[in-house]
Amino acid sequence: MPASTVKLNPSDRFQKLLKDPVLLFCVILLWCFLFLFILLPLAQLFIKTFEEGGHFSFKNVISTLGDPNQRQALWNSLILGSLVGLCGTVLGFLFAFTAVRANLSKAWALFLDAAIILPLISPPFTTAIAMIFSFGPRGLITYDLLGIKGFTIYGLHSTLFSETITFFPIAYLTLKAIIAGIDPNVEDMAFSLGSSRWRVFRTVTLPLTVPGLANSFLLLFAASLADFATPLILAGNSFPVLPTQAYLQITGLFDLKGGAVLSFVLLAPAFLVFVLQRYWVSRKYYVTITGKAGAKTQIKSVPFWARYLLLGLCLFISAFILYFYVLLFYASIVRAFGANFQLTWIHYRVIFTEGLKAIRDTLVIAGVGMPIGGIYAVTLGYLVSKKTFPSRQAMEIVSMINYSLPGTIVGIAYLLFFNDPPIMLTGTAIIIIACYVFRYGPTGIRTTVAILQQIDPSIEEASFSLGAGSGTTFRRITMPLILPAFFAGLGVVFIRSMTAISATIFLISINWTLITVRILEKMTELELGVAAAFSILVVVIVFIVITAISLFLRLFRQPGAPEMANILGG
Amino acid sequence: MKAVSIRLENVSKTFIHRIKGKVSAVDQVSLQVEPGEFLTLLGPSGCGKTTTLRMIAGFERPDRGRVFIGDEDVTDLMANQRNIGFVFQNYALFPHLSVFENVAYGLRVKGMQRAEIEKAVNDVLALVGLKGYEHQFPHQLSGGEQQRVALARAVVIQPRVLLFDEPLSNLDAKLRVYMRSEIRRLQKTLSITTVYVTHDQEEAMAVSDHIAVMNVGKITQIGTAEELYTEPETTFVAQFIGKINILPAEVREVTDLQVTVSIFNRDFRISKSAVPLALGQNIKIFIRPESIELTKGIKEGQLKGLIVEKTFLGEKADYQVEVDGHSLNATSYDPFLHETFALNQEVGIILNEQAIQILKE
């Protein structure tokens, strides 16, 4: 009888926990952290939102929603999120279907993957800056190429375009895994029953991907809802959205309460997406893998002409993405893009002198957060999937909260909670590191859980039967097998420490600042060349770290170990 | 190393199943495996054979009863303190270790010297025919090769007992036949007391000294393959090992040695069994398909039937024959030599008297 069907009753579990001091210590310690860095800040946000003169009240929420401007911001956020979800999913599906089902050669597949990964590892303003260089009033395409004068770049259209380009790789990674999971034999079966290719696509392939499409829509909706950087640059005054409104409320008007209420309003749709994803979409997945894998078959989903059409479309979009990055690089090495195209290193000199503190701070924060995030992820992931103790499930869910919430909410919650005694962390590096660890550690947790689920319990039993104790078994068998998850945890925390802004913009101080925040400042000061140089630097650093981690992953490659790209998408 | 015995005394184990609630997997099982013996636990899935094996290994602790290896009571010992060799159904090779390191794992845990480990691993790899595979990784091996690594890994630590949990079920039919004789050869060479779990009766008969047939958590009968086949004590054993035809019969006459029974209104004199019989009693008898002979010519008064199904299998042919509303399975070996029959053909039927046995329940 498989061990998974065996259940201990709660008192047994509690007894067991008391007998295992190491486990007990880990569980208590983790809960302390989860309370301190997830639950209590969030509770503080609730209190701030619903407290009026010492009483519980809906007054704050009602007055915020009564303000037509804020109502408009909520409405705009929802519209933008839906449209990004829709467009990004379509684009992601196009790429995923082409990559998996169009019989691409290895080189083409690699090229598509490479072009798609760029937006994932870039700092948040990259596309926005490139958009301004291309479509702004003196933009390369609008002004120089098409000769349009006075083109308005600010508004829904450009925010949507920029967010779609930034976030569709998430849809691509989600859908690619799903389409690749559909056994081509199932399609063969439909062919053998007399279906045409188009009919097979319409009646077999597409329906099987529907849960994936829904999931991708929700992921993109959430990403857009949480995105703070793109609307800040591109949305302009005519198209306010919630995260930027909350930011302006706090930094512009010093109205902490107003910011808290706005971010709480943002919480509702974010929470809805979280619930839908966890309890609805995840149950709709079809399992097409049954028993032994069928014979490998030549994929014949698309006719000859369609293959080139699909590839052509993908190449056009990939080329567009690459164009953005080339443009960004070019802008970083000319004196003033749009006016003076003289080559110069001056912007790089600026970032390595005046901007050096931000670079150093960011690297220190990322470097310290990285191992902590990795250890946190592997420990928590191991405990929730291999050990039985009271509150196990609650621990897993709580650990995912900061990851699922928009960064603006997390940032404001931290700001509210750590600003006053008992625990004052505002102005320290700890608050930024903690924010990254608990916000991006969950990727590592999920990877750990996924890997551990794939390790058959009999592997550990085999080690016991050969005379090894549980310590040796963990050290020699389990630990090496979850090493990839550890690296994944490290990688994601590092990359996000380099590129994230939405939560930490509320947490920076004179003592500790971040590159991404400096990019924003340079953009508002219209020093676009410096902003571009900073962005290029971040892309290069992240690229080097990703390559290093991928090499490590390949070195310790286990069955079921994830690719770096997949980790980023999750 | 001297071979040791294994003894189970009234061992029971219940699980709490998410849907079914409390399930008694093993119910008061007692069992003795002699030193050097190869015993197979045979039974349908869910009969408790794997749980029994896992209790011998120490992966499960019995709720009641004791487990002995040699003269030592090991009930309270963990798996890693029992000195056993276990071969898993899915092999459970360590995916991140090479063949050499997989096999060396148990020796390293023991803290053996490097040179000794090298010699022991090389010896055992030669024994299972995997010389030259030392640096391969599990995912680079075929199913049969992985199986041998699992085998080598289990025996290299010189375990007191060898335990197999359906080790051949992931292999294809030809390889299965080959590997089972390999396992038997290895067990004889090393003369290690062995318990083997399978649901395949042919496999059990091919490898074992003794077979313990299990059903719903209990051992139904223990014996050699021949004993189980020729003298099954229960209908379950009779049906599980080989094929049988069960027919109604009436007791006509009982003497000291023999019983006369009437089947299809014809008298047959068969050997007497331990079951007390009364004249005129309605009983059930069974006869195996190979003990039923079909003939083309039908003598006066001979039992006859109609062929309704025919399966040609090369070395034999299986027939289904309708007789008086009953369906009989008959097997004819060497179809080249013997008569073959067509569908819907009327045939004569000879029941071999010596092969008819009375069902005890």
pLDDT above 50 (res A560): no
pLDDT above 80 (res A257): no
- B64 lies in the same domain as B165: yes
Q: Which of A538, A174, A491 is closest to A325 using CA atoms?
A: A538
Q: Which of B51, B79, B85 sits opposite A461 (nearest CB)?
A: B79
Q: Edge-to-edge, what's the strand order for the sheet holding B64-69? A: B21-33, B6-17, B64-69, B72-73
B111 to chain A, any CB pair closer than 8 A? The answer is no
Closest-CA distance of chain B to residue A479, Å: 11
Rounded to whole angstroms, how far apart are CA atoms B213 and B51? 14
Question: What chain A residue is nearest to B86 in terms of C-alpha separation?
Answer: A465
pLDDT given at position A194: 66
Measure the N-to-C terminal CA separation of chain B; round to a whole number of Å. 45
CA torsion, points B138, B141, B147, B148, in degrees to nearest 10?
Answer: -100
Rounded to whole angstroms, how far apart are CA atoms B168 and A390? 39
Question: What chain B residue is nearest to A9 in terms of C-alpha separation?
Answer: B16
Q: Which residue has the higher pLDDT, A565 or A2?
A: A565
- Last residue in a domain, options B240, B257, B288: B240
Q: With beta carbons less than 8 A apart as the criterion, state whether B62 and B43 touch.
A: no
Burial class (CB in 10 A: 0-12, 13-18, 19+), B113: exposed
Rounded to whole angstroms, how far apart are CA atoms B91 and B77? 23
Rounded to whole angstroms, how far apart are CA atoms B121 and A523? 66
Report yes or no on A313 lying in a domain.
no
Each residue's pLDDT, cut to its tens digit, for chain B (361 residues) gives 688 999 999 999 998 877 777 888 899 999 999 999 999 999 998 899 999 999 999 888 899 999 999 989 999 888 888 889 999 988 888 888 889 999 999 898 888 899 999 999 999 999 888 999 999 888 888 888 999 999 999 999 899 999 999 988 888 888 889 989 989 998 998 899 999 999 999 999 999 999 999 999 999 999 999 999 988 888 899 888 888 999 889 999 888 888 899 988 888 888 877 777 888 888 888 999 999 988 888 887 788 899 999 988 888 889 999 998 889 999 988 777 667 788 888 899 988 888 888 887 6
Q: What stretch of H or E contains B326?
A: strand B326-333
- B215 lies in the same domain as B302: no
pLDDT given at position A151: 67
pLDDT above 60 (res A289): no
- B302 lies in the same domain as B315: yes
Count of domains for chain B: 2
The DSSP symbol for A103 reads -
pLDDT above 90 (res A468): no
Closest-CA distance of chain A to residue B264, Å: 45
Residue A208, Cα to own-chain centre: how many angstroms?
25
Q: With beta carbons less than 8 A apart as the criterion, state whether B346 and B338 touch.
A: no
Report yes or no on B132 lying in a domain.
yes
pLDDT given at position B193: 94
Which ranges in chain B belong to alpha helices (H)? Answer: 49-57, 99-110, 114-127, 143-155, 173-190, 201-207, 225-230, 235-240
Q: With beta carbons less than 8 A apart as the criterion, state whether B66 and B92 touch.
A: no
Strand B304-312 versus strand B316-323 pairing type: antiparallel
Residues in chain B within 8 Å Cβ distance of A1: 15, 17, 23, 25, 50-51
Cβ separation B94–A7 shorter than 8 A: no
Rounded to whole angstroms, how far apart are CA atoms A500 and A401? 17
Report yes or no on B1 lying in a domain.
no
Q: What is the pLDDT of residues B300-326, one digit of tens each?
A: 778 889 999 998 888 888 999 999 888
pLDDT above 50 (res A1): no
Q: What is the pLDDT of residues A300-357, one digit of tens each?
A: 666 777 788 888 888 888 888 888 888 888 888 887 777 777 778 888 887 788 878 8
A293 to chain B, any CB pair closer than 8 A? The answer is no
Whichever domain contains B162, its CATH number is 3.40.50.300
Q: Which of B15, B18, B109 sits opposite A468 (nearest CB)?
A: B109
- B305 lies in the same domain as B179: no
A559 to chain B, any CB pair closer than 8 A? The answer is yes
pLDDT given at position A561: 45
Tell me the two tokens of residue B49: 């054979």
Q: With beta carbons less than 8 A apart as the criterion, state whether A227 and A163 touch.
A: yes
Report yes or no on B24 lying in a domain.
yes
- B206 lies in the same domain as B128: yes
User: What is the DSSP annotation of A538-562?
Assistant: HHHHHHHHHHHHHHHHHHT--TTPP
pLDDT given at position A285: 57
B268 to chain A, any CB pair closer than 8 A? The answer is no
Question: What chain A residue is nearest to B15 in terms of C-alpha separation?
Answer: A6
Q: Cβ contacts of residue A89 below 8 Å, gap of 6+?
A: A168, A171, A175, A213, A216, A217, A220
In A471-500, the residues whose Cβ lies within 8 Å of chain B are 472, 476-477, 480-481
B22 to chain A, any CB pair closer than 8 A? The answer is no
Question: What chain B residue is nearest to A459 in terms of C-alpha separation?
Answer: B92
Q: What is the pLDDT of residues A473-517, one digit of tens each?
A: 888 888 888 887 778 778 888 888 888 887 788 888 777 888 888
- B124 lies in the same domain as B25: yes
Beta bridge partners of B285: B247, B358
Cβ separation A461–B86 shorter than 8 A: yes
Report yes or no on A24 lying in a domain.
no
Q: Please give the single-letter amino acid code of residue B233.
A: E
The DSSP symbol for A240 reads -
Report yes or no on A104 lying in a domain.
no
Q: Which residue has the higher pLDDT, A453 or A95?
A: A95
Tell me the two tokens of residue A372: 């902590």
Q: Which residue has the higher pLDDT, B347 or A253?
A: B347
Q: Count A/B contacts: CB-CB distance under 8 Å.
A: 82
Which ranges in A227-355 belong to alpha helices (H)? Answer: 229-234, 242-251, 256-275, 282-284, 304-332, 346-353
- B99 lies in the same domain as B151: yes
Q: Which of A5, A464, A466 sits opposite B78 (nearest CB)?
A: A464
- Last residue in a domain, options B178, B213, B240: B240
The DSSP symbol for A173 reads H
pLDDT given at position A568: 52
Cβ separation A467–B106 shorter than 8 A: yes
pLDDT given at position B342: 85
What are the angstrom distances between the C-alpha of B27 and each of A336, B46, B213, B214, B217?
85, 13, 14, 11, 5
- B222 lies in the same domain as B86: yes
Question: What chain A residue is nearest to B46 in terms of C-alpha separation?
Answer: A1
* Tally of CB atoms within 10 A around A546: 20
Q: Please give the single-letter amino acid code of residue A256.
A: L
Report yes or no on A322 lying in a domain.
no
In A388-447, the residues whose Cβ lies within 8 Å of chain B are none
- Last residue in a domain, options B240, B268, B297: B240
Strand B282-287 versus strand B357-358 pairing type: antiparallel
Cβ separation A465–B110 shorter than 8 A: no
pLDDT given at position A290: 38
Residues in chain A within 8 Å Cβ distance of B147: none
User: What is the DSSP annotation of B282-318?
Assistant: EEEEEE-GGGEEEESS--TT--EEEEEEEEE-SSEEE
Whichever domain contains A414, its CATH number is 1.10.3720.10
Closest-CA distance of chain A to residue B98, Å: 12
CA torsion, points A134, A136, A140, A142, in degrees to nearest 10?
Answer: 100
Tell me the two tokens of residue B52: 């029994």
What are the angstrom distances between the C-alpha of A37 and each of A425, A501, B332?
11, 18, 78
Q: With beta carbons less than 8 A apart as the criterion, state whether B94 and A477 touch.
A: yes
Residues in chain A within 8 Å Cβ distance of B157: 466-467
Question: What chain B residue is nearest to A484 in terms of C-alpha separation?
Answer: B96
A466 to chain B, any CB pair closer than 8 A? The answer is yes
Angle at A234 between CA A230 and CA A238, to 5 degrees: 125
pLDDT above 90 (res A100): no
Q: Which of A323, A316, A314, A322 is closest to A91 using CA atoms?
A: A314
Strand B161-165 versus strand B193-198 pairing type: parallel
For the segment A461-479, the average pLDDT, to the nearest whole number, is 86
What is the extent of the structural domain holding B258?
A: 245-358
Q: Is the Cα dihedral A448, A451, A457, A463 positive or negative?
A: negative
* Tally of CB atoms within 10 A around B264: 17
The model's pTM is: 0.74
What are the angstrom distances between the C-alpha of B338 and each of A62, A87, B294, B341?
95, 75, 10, 10
Closest-CA distance of chain B to residue A187, Å: 27
- B74 lies in the same domain as B148: yes
Strand B304-312 versus strand B346-351 pairing type: antiparallel
pLDDT given at position B10: 93
Closest-CA distance of chain B to residue A15, Å: 18
CB-based burial, A248-266: b 16+ in 10 Å, e otherwise: bbbeeeeebbbbbbbbbbb
Cβ separation B18–A472 shorter than 8 A: no
Report yes or no on B147 lying in a domain.
yes
What is the extent of the structural domain holding A406?
A: 345-570
For the segment A520-542, the average pLDDT, to the nearest whole number, is 85
The mean-pLDDT minimum among A16-30, A137-151, A395-409 falls in: A137-151
Beta bridge partners of A465: none
Rounded to whole angstroms, how far apart are CA atoms A528 and A532? 6
Q: With beta carbons less than 8 A apart as the criterion, state whether A113 and A329 touch.
A: no
Cβ separation A481–B96 shorter than 8 A: yes
Mean pLDDT (chain A) is 79
pLDDT given at position A147: 67
Q: Please give the single-letter amino acid code of residue A38.
A: I
Helices H / strands E in chain A, number of each: 27, 4
Interface test with chain B among A465, A475, A552, by most B beta carbons within 10 Å:
A465
Q: What is the pLDDT of residues A51-87, one digit of tens each?
A: 777 777 777 777 777 778 888 888 888 899 899 999 9
Q: Which of B216, B114, B100, B189 is closest to B153 using CA atoms?
A: B100
A93: left (phi over 0), alpha (psi -120 to 50) or beta: alpha
Q: Which residue has the higher pLDDT, A563 or A187?
A: A187
Q: Which of A7, A459, A467 sits opposite B110 (nearest CB)?
A: A467
Rounded to whole angstroms, how far apart are CA atoms B58 and B84? 9
Residues in chain B within 8 Å Cβ distance of A486: none
3-state secondary structure A341-355: EEECCHHHHHHHHCC
pLDDT given at position B324: 85
Whichever domain contains B276, its CATH number is 2.40.50.140
Residues in chain A within 8 Å Cβ distance of B109: 466-468, 472
pLDDT given at position A526: 78
User: What is the DSSP annotation of A122-161?
Assistant: S-TTHHHHHHHHHHSTT-IIIIIIS--SS----SHHHHHH
Closest-CA distance of chain B to residue A185, Å: 22
Tell me the two tokens of residue B261: 């029974």
Q: Cβ contacts of residue B38 below 8 Å, gap of 6+?
A: B184, B187, B194, B196, B207, B208, B209, B210
Count of domains for chain A: 1
User: What is the DSSP annotation of B127-186?
Assistant: HTT-TT-TT--GGGS-HHHHHHHHHHHHHTT--SEEEEESTTTTS-HHHHHHHHHHHHHH
Report yes or no on B68 lying in a domain.
yes
* Tally of CB atoms within 10 A around B231: 13
CA torsion, points A322, A326, A327, A330, in degrees to nearest 10?
Answer: 180
Report yes or no on A321 lying in a domain.
no
Interface test with chain A among B13, B96, B121, B146, by most A beta carbons within 10 Å:
B96
Cβ separation A464–B95 shorter than 8 A: no
- B172 lies in the same domain as B283: no
Report yes or no on A63 lying in a domain.
no
3-state secondary structure B276-287: CCCCCCEEEEEE
- B153 lies in the same domain as B277: no
pLDDT given at position A300: 61
Residues in chain A within 8 Å Cβ distance of B92: 456, 458-459, 461-462
Report yes or no on A42 lying in a domain.
no
A147 to chain B, any CB pair closer than 8 A? The answer is no
Rounded to whole angstroms, how far apart are CA atoms A128 and A124? 8
Cβ separation B109–A464 shorter than 8 A: no
Q: Please give the single-letter amino acid code of residue B187.
A: Q
Does residue B12 sit in helix, strand or coil?
strand
Q: Which residue has the higher pLDDT, B212 or A135?
A: B212
- B40 lies in the same domain as B186: yes
pLDDT given at position A148: 67
